[in-house]
Structure 1
Amino acid sequence: MEPGSGSTTISGNCTVTSTGDGCPWEVSDKARLCRFLCYGSEGGIYTAREESRVSVVNAGSLLSLLQEGRGGEVVEEIKRFSQDGRVVRLNPSLFALALCSQHSELKTRQAAFKALKEVCRVPAHLFSFIQYKKELKEGMKCGIWGRALRKAVSDWYNEHDAMSLAVAVTKCKQREGWSHQDLLRLSHTKPAHEAIALISKYVTKGWKEVQVAYAEKENSEEVVRVLSYLEVVEKVKHSCDETEVVNLIEEHTLEREQMLTDHLKSKQVWRALLKEMPLQATLRILGKMTANKVLEPGGSETAALCDRIQSETALKKAKIHPFSILVATENYKRGQGYQGQTKWDPDSSILKALDSAFYKSFMNVEPVGKGIVVAVDVSTSLSSVVPGMSISTAVVAAAITMIFARTEADIHVLAYSEDAVVPCSISADMTLAQATIELLKIPSGTTDCSRPITWAIENNKAVDVFIVLTNNPLWTFAASPLASLKKHRQISGAHSKLVTCGLTSIGHAIADAEDRGLLSICGFDLGALSVIRNLAQDLI
């Protein structure tokens, strides 16, 4: 159900919506499908940073819906999740679309192929989709390149703007064992116009044949633009002149993927690439650039980069989330890569820019618009480190509370243990350091994660989402969290949900697969925040 849609009435132990969906706590095939599309599992457990290869084994609800003749509905959900940025990982959507495209029902296949370009926005997505189709067909006596797939792939190329397609095919040439040459040949693509024909010839025949074919022609403006761009790409591929490569990067906004390995050994080439490199990618390589002296203390390139990192315009354009900046900051602070081979001395000006960007990027967080309780377990010292990150659980817990405190109108932050629940004075104007100190100064005890729900009942608080943060959900508690949640629902009339985040967990969870309002998160990453948002808004 979309946020704000439908009305509710209380009937016995079950809240029934006016949309006719029945009890919202039942985990229906549709709900399982949405979980699968969001994070690749039908269960109520999200494991951070874990991406297993999807297959029909973990897509039972998808198969059930297709067997019920609801293929069109499935394709609409695939489109909705992928287009609205609701997915943590896109591979489950690509797999689901591939499965729909091979279903026995004609309407489902047609809908899937029609949605191809909307879901597969870049070549890497298209290659993955084709590979999933190949894997699904293995063991069957028929091939995958029927008329419908040939048309869909041809349309994918033909419906692109010519210049954007030229950039795409030169940045991502192959993936998953497939190349553009393979796809254009197997789809028997007939270019829709001359500029697409030029790109097709370039991919399948090579630059020399393009030069011969177009040397004496009277070409349109669009063809001339594409020819010029491809000429630049080819010139870079064959150039050993550092100055020439740098000039071509700056004049034509070339990207890292279009460079040769030898080019990427040059500091000047990296400095040119950094000027227009997407901000998210830049954040990931700050350590490497400092270690290689591409970014030097007091250098003009460092100053320019710092200005861009903390530019509100750049942050907004790139839609950078504060949690992404927190991870980048902590990775940069530690002064070495995870393998320990690359080491650097963190630059103070870069750290200052990252700190500024962290607070500015809160403008990119869209409010959930629900009544939220964030409850932090202070039964331990919160001094552990979140797996896969160089960040303590205390800092992550503080960052999560800040994200909600700064963006939600109806928010309570609690610290809890076995014996007590203490409201925290974490406010929107606090710094991350202040919020961390506020959490750590509260006395600890043993864990009882049902206490925040009991607090809400005792204080007559109608809460939409309880977000419980702890190190590892190996609890003893006075009352079952699910039983406490059901009691709160019954008393308050709220559609209350419970998310338990085991920040150091590698698999322990208390999620009940039969209650849609219960979700467990093992570890933590940016995807976990998307999962929480989707649950809060009844999308999974």
Structure 2
Amino acid sequence: MDPASLPEQLSVVNEQVLNSSGRSVTAAVSLRRFLCYGSESATYSTRECALGIESALALMQLIEGGRGCEVVEEISRSNLEGRAVRANPSLFALAVCSQHADCRTKQAALWALKELCRTPAQLFTFVQYKKELRQGSGMWGRALRRAVTDWYNSQDGMSLARSVTKCKHRAGWSHQHLLRLSHMKPANDTVAVVCKYITQGWKGVQEAYGDKETSEDVQKVFAYLEAVEKAKRCTDEQELIHLIEEQRLEKEQILTNHLKSKEVWKALLKEMPMAVLLKHLGNLTANKFLAAGSADVAAVCERIQDETALKKAKTHPFNILVASENYKRGHGKRSKLKWDPDRDIVQALDLAFSKSISTVEPTGKRFLVAVDVSSSLSSVTHGSSISTVAVAAAMCLVIAQTEPDAQIVVFSEGSVRPCAVSSDMTFMQVAAQLIQTPGDSTDCALPITWASENDKSVDVFIIFTNNQTFGRENPADTLKTYRQKIGLFSKLIVCGLIANSLSVADPEDRGMLDICGFDSQAVDVIRNFALDVI
């Protein structure tokens, strides 16, 4: 498809059409919420729900109103700017657009496919959504066949080889299915090698290219696929390590039996992404791959604390906190795996948490963060499996140290008390201030009332609580009164750390948000909400 033939709306976002100014919840606001976290409501939950037409009414309203091309542009921009904390809602919305009767909307959606589906897993998920949404017989028309073909042909041979060997199937679909149904015709020789590998296996690649003179690029793809196949059959540990280091093979491409080797893990760790490394610290310690005082432990600790690596990986302090708390626990969440936490690794994680705070970009908003201490903060947070006091302390520390105008308070029945959080305080020192003798009942309106009485100008209120109740005043009504007095469209975020549901936010007010549980995605939702992009 020629980009020049696309509708004008795709090249320039029509801000007036999808403008979400004002205080009410418009269809555009609902769409952005859906693309961000999979729900049009003012509630983010760590429990991800199944997606369906009934949960995307604003999406359908905009498409049926003749604004499908602009919806596709919004989907693309949401992903490009990193606003989507979950990938599937955007894939579902794109599938809905691609099924619509309007030719321009369908054309725009399928043209955007190769940009939005960055991994095979996302491509498979998109195709499955199309299957679930289809009406009548067949869905593999010429437009979809071309879009899937373009997805494969838009990648260079090496990138495609890496992706198809790491993720072979998902959601009931495989690369073989898609190549066959799309009538795939490779655009160049390197892609042709990978397609041959998908359809005929390594034996087919050997027969077609083994004895032929080929270009340097084809030889590289051939060598990579050969290494992947050798790794499957390899019985010599040193040969496997050589393959991993030479071709930068990853954990997904190594057989489970080989992952019992300390030396194999050592080779994998050299190129292992930060998030994967943090996830496997417990496993590596339990299986004695990381022995106390060893050079391997020292190397891992150095990587964890590397500020450049933390910034490159965009590792938020909350992610490190979760990894740290899970590692300190000494056992897996569901598995029987147990380990003795290594003191050096624990210290490295604590330092990494402190260092990673500097990588967080401030929003420039004025925050008031209020922690409810009317009940014990020793409960386990839904979605993170760490204590609620750890979540509250971490977020207080991060916001206080990154935002130029932020105040932290604790509150219980009838009282609000400022809580000093300075730049030189540690996580444990902040947590200690939040562990107090529980009071009687929760009143989430208190921090807003306190700000009003003390003439505090606040752009965003964030309340952390273990409870789902409020006192005499409804926080939503109190916020509206505060807005009128101060003259600001202040926002309210209530985080029910152990809640399965919340009903504090006014569903018709775009300046209120409920969060049920708390996880790393909730951090991004808060940022998006504060910056007025959802």
Q: State the TM-score, normalized to the length of structure 2.
A: 0.94
Give, in whole Å, the separation in 2 of the partners of 1:23 and 1:451: 28
Q: Which amino acid aligns with 1:330?
A: E
User: Hey, what does 1:3 align to over in structure 2?
Assistant: none
2:39 to 32, 38, 41: 41
1:327-356: CA deviation from partner (whole Å, max 9, x where unpaired): 000100111111251111001111011111
User: Hey, what does 1:93 align to over in structure 2?
Assistant: 90
1:505 to 499, 510, 514: 499
Report the alpha carbon displacement of residue 301 of structure 1 after superposing the two structures with TM.
1.5
Q: Which amino acid aligns with 1:80?
A: R
Q: Which amino acid aligns with 2:521?
A: G
Q: Which amino acid aligns with 1:375?
A: A
Report the alpha carbon displacement of residue 271 of structure 1 after superposing the two structures with TM.
2.2
1:121 to 118, 123, 134: 118
1:52 to 42, 49, 53: 49
Give, in whole Å, the separation in 2 of the partners of 1:72 and 1:233: 41
Report the alpha carbon displacement of residue 442 of structure 1 after superposing the two structures with TM.
8.1
Give, in whole Å, the separation in 1 of the partners of 2:86 and 2:54: 18
Report the alpha carbon displacement of residue 384 of structure 1 after superposing the two structures with TM.
2.0
**Aligned pair 1:305/2:303, yes or no?**
no
User: Hey, what does 1:4 align to over in structure 2?
Assistant: none
Report the alpha carbon displacement of residue 429 of structure 1 after superposing the two structures with TM.
2.1
Give, in whole Å, the separation in 2 of the partners of 1:21 and 1:539: 11
Q: Which amino acid aligns with 2:148?
A: V
Change (3 A) 1:453 1:403: same
1:337-396: CA deviation from partner (whole Å, max 9, x where unpaired): 112511110011110111111011112212122111101112123222213444222221
Comparing 429-438 with 390-399, which one deviates more in the overlay? 390-399
Gaps of at least 5 residues in structure 1 are 1-16
1:429-454: CA deviation from partner (whole Å, max 9, x where unpaired): 21101111223358845322111111
- Residue 381 of structure 2 aligns to a residue whose secondary structure is coil
1:264 to 256, 259, 262: 259
Give, in whole Å, the separation in 2 of the partners of 1:18 and 1:436: 45
Quick check: 1:181–1:204 contact (8 Å CA) kept in 2? yes
Quick check: 2:502–2:515 contact (8 Å CA) kept in 1? no
- Residue 333 of structure 2 aligns to a residue whose secondary structure is coil
Quick check: 2:464–2:494 contact (8 Å CA) kept in 1? yes
2:101 to 101, 104, 111: 104
**Aligned pair 1:321/2:319, yes or no?**
no
User: Hey, what does 1:527 align to over in structure 2?
Assistant: 521
Report the alpha carbon displacement of residue 222 of structure 1 after superposing the two structures with TM.
0.8
Report the alpha carbon displacement of residue 245 of structure 1 after superposing the two structures with TM.
1.0
Q: CA RMSD of the aligned region, Å?
A: 1.8
User: Hey, what does 1:69 align to over in structure 2?
Assistant: 66
The residue correspondences of 1:204-353 to structure 2 (distance < 5 A) are: 204-353=199-348
The residue correspondences of 1:92-171 to structure 2 (distance < 5 A) are: 92-137=89-134, 140-171=135-166
User: Hey, what does 2:196 align to over in structure 1?
Assistant: 201
Count of equivalent residues: 520
What percent identity do the matched residue pairs reach? Answer: 56
Give, in whole Å, the separation in 1 of the partners of 2:333 and 2:279: 12
Q: Which amino acid aligns with 2:327?
A: Y
Q: State the TM-score, normalized to the length of structure 1.
A: 0.93
Quick check: 2:152–2:160 contact (8 Å CA) kept in 1? yes
1:419 to 414, 422, 428: 414
User: Hey, what does 2:77 align to over in structure 1?
Assistant: 80
User: Hey, what does 1:480 align to over in structure 2?
Assistant: 474
Comparing 120-129 with 338-347, which one deviates more in the overlay? 338-347
Give, in whole Å, the separation in 1 of the partners of 2:383 and 2:528: 23
Quick check: 1:376–1:397 contact (8 Å CA) kept in 2? yes
1:289-326: CA deviation from partner (whole Å, max 9, x where unpaired): 11111111122222111111111121111111100000
Q: Which amino acid aligns with 1:522?
A: C
User: Hey, what does 2:186 align to over in structure 1?
Assistant: 191
1:126-183: CA deviation from partner (whole Å, max 9, x where unpaired): 010011111111xx32311111111111111111122111111111111111111111
- Residue 411 of structure 1 aligns to a residue whose secondary structure is strand
Deviation >6 Å, runs of 4+: 17-20
**Aligned pair 1:365/2:360, yes or no?**
yes
The residue correspondences of 1:452-467 to structure 2 (distance < 5 A) are: 452-467=447-462
Comparing 330-339 with 438-447, which one deviates more in the overlay? 438-447
User: Hey, what does 2:432 align to over in structure 1?
Assistant: 437
1:191-229: CA deviation from partner (whole Å, max 9, x where unpaired): 111111111111111211211212343211111111111
Gaps of at least 5 residues in structure 2 are 1-14
- Residue 498 of structure 1 aligns to a residue whose secondary structure is strand
Give, in whole Å, the separation in 2 of the partners of 1:207 and 1:383: 54
User: Hey, what does 2:382 align to over in structure 1?
Assistant: 387
Comparing 321-330 with 76-85, which one deviates more in the overlay? 76-85
Change (3 A) 1:388 1:65: closer
Q: Which amino acid aligns with 1:368?
A: T
Report the alpha carbon displacement of residue 19 of structure 1 after superposing the two structures with TM.
9.6
Give, in whole Å, the separation in 1 of the partners of 2:167 and 2:240: 20
Change (3 A) 1:154 1:481: same
Give, in whole Å, the separation in 2 of the partners of 1:331 and 1:443: 26
Quick check: 2:443–2:469 contact (8 Å CA) kept in 1? no
Quick check: 1:362–1:403 contact (8 Å CA) kept in 2? yes
Quick check: 2:43–2:502 contact (8 Å CA) kept in 1? no
Report the alpha carbon displacement of residue 462 of structure 1 after superposing the two structures with TM.
2.0
1:230-256: CA deviation from partner (whole Å, max 9, x where unpaired): 111111122122221122112221001
Quick check: 1:329–1:354 contact (8 Å CA) kept in 2? yes
Change (3 A) 1:136 1:219: same
Quick check: 1:33–1:42 contact (8 Å CA) kept in 2? yes
The residue correspondences of 1:398-413 to structure 2 (distance < 5 A) are: 398-413=393-408
Quick check: 1:40–1:54 contact (8 Å CA) kept in 2? yes
1:232-286: CA deviation from partner (whole Å, max 9, x where unpaired): 1111122122221122112221001111222223232222212211110111111
User: Hey, what does 2:12 align to over in structure 1?
Assistant: none
1:386-427: CA deviation from partner (whole Å, max 9, x where unpaired): 134442222211111111111101111111222121111112
User: Hey, what does 2:9 align to over in structure 1?
Assistant: none
Give, in whole Å, the separation in 2 of the partners of 1:261 and 1:456: 56
Give, in whole Å, the separation in 1 of the partners of 2:213 and 2:334: 55
Quick check: 2:36–2:84 contact (8 Å CA) kept in 1? yes
Comparing 105-114 with 447-456, which one deviates more in the overlay? 447-456
Report the alpha carbon displacement of residue 508 of structure 1 after superposing the two structures with TM.
3.2
Give, in whole Å, the separation in 2 of the partners of 1:20 and 1:327: 37
Give, in whole Å, the separation in 1 of the partners of 2:87 and 2:247: 30
Change (3 A) 1:18 1:212: closer
Change (3 A) 1:155 1:537: same
Q: Which amino acid aligns with 1:335?
A: G
- Residue 70 of structure 1 aligns to a residue whose secondary structure is helix
1:480-527: CA deviation from partner (whole Å, max 9, x where unpaired): 211111112112221211001111112233122111111111111111
Quick check: 1:378–1:445 contact (8 Å CA) kept in 2? no
